[in-house]
Amino acid sequence: MNEPVTVRDWQDADWADFAPIFREVVEEGRTYAIDRDIDDAAARAFWGEATHWISAESGGRLLGAAKMGPNRPAQGSHVGTASFMVGSGARGRGVGRALGECAVDWHRKAGFRAIQFNAVVSSNHPAVALWRSLGFEVVGTVPEAFELPDGSRVALLVMYLDLTRSA
C-alpha cells in the first residue's frame, strides 16, 4: 500500500466504500458527537449536509473523505467549515493532510474569508497537530464538552484559519 494518495471530487457511488469508514469513526466515539448507533439513513443525511465533498484514495481504494461548505448560513456564510473522516487502516499515511490541504484550497478558491472548525476534540492530537501545521489556531476552548467512551471528558477546541492572509 505504498501507492500515492490522490484526492478527487466525491462521487455518489463513494458512499458504499465510505460507509464502513463512517461507521468505524462514529463507533470509536473519540472524534465526533454523533450517536454511535446511527442508522444508514441518518448517516447519509449527516454526510449530505455540505456544499462540496472530496474523497481520498490510493490504489483504487477509498481511504477517507471530507465535506465542506459554509459554517453558518446568511451573514455567516463567508466563513467555511469542513468535516473529515479517515479509516483506521489509512491513518498516519498523509490522507488527512491531503484532504485538509485540498479543503483549504477549495475554500480559498470558493471565496471564503476563513475556515472555522467548531468542535475539534482536544484529545485527537493528530488532528490538532495537522490543523495547526496548516495554519489554524485555537480561538476557543470549551472545557469537558466531549465525553470519551470511557466516560472521561475532554475539551472541544474551536479552530480558525484566516484565508485573507497570503497562502
DSSP structure string for 14-63: GHHHHHHHHHHHHHHTSS--S-TT--HHHHHHHHH-SSEEEEEEETTEEE
Arithmetic mean of pLDDT, 28-50:
94
CA-based angle 99:137:22, to the nearest 5?
A: 35
- If you average pLDDT over every residue of the chain, what do you get? 95
Does the pLDDT at position 1 exceed 80?
Answer: no
120 pLDDT tier (thresholds 50, 70, 90)? very high
167 pLDDT tier (thresholds 50, 70, 90)? low
pLDDT at 166: 66
CB burial of 43-72 (b: ≥16 within 10 Å; e: otherwise) equals beebbeebebbbbbbbeeebbbbbbbbbbe
Q: Rounded to two decimals, what is the model's pTM?
A: 0.94
End-to-end Cα distance, the chain: 32
**In the β-sheet with 61-70, what is the strand arrangement from edge to edge?**
6-9, 52-58, 61-70, 79-86, 114-121, 153-162, 137-147
Q: How far apart are CA 119 and CA 165, in angstroms?
A: 23
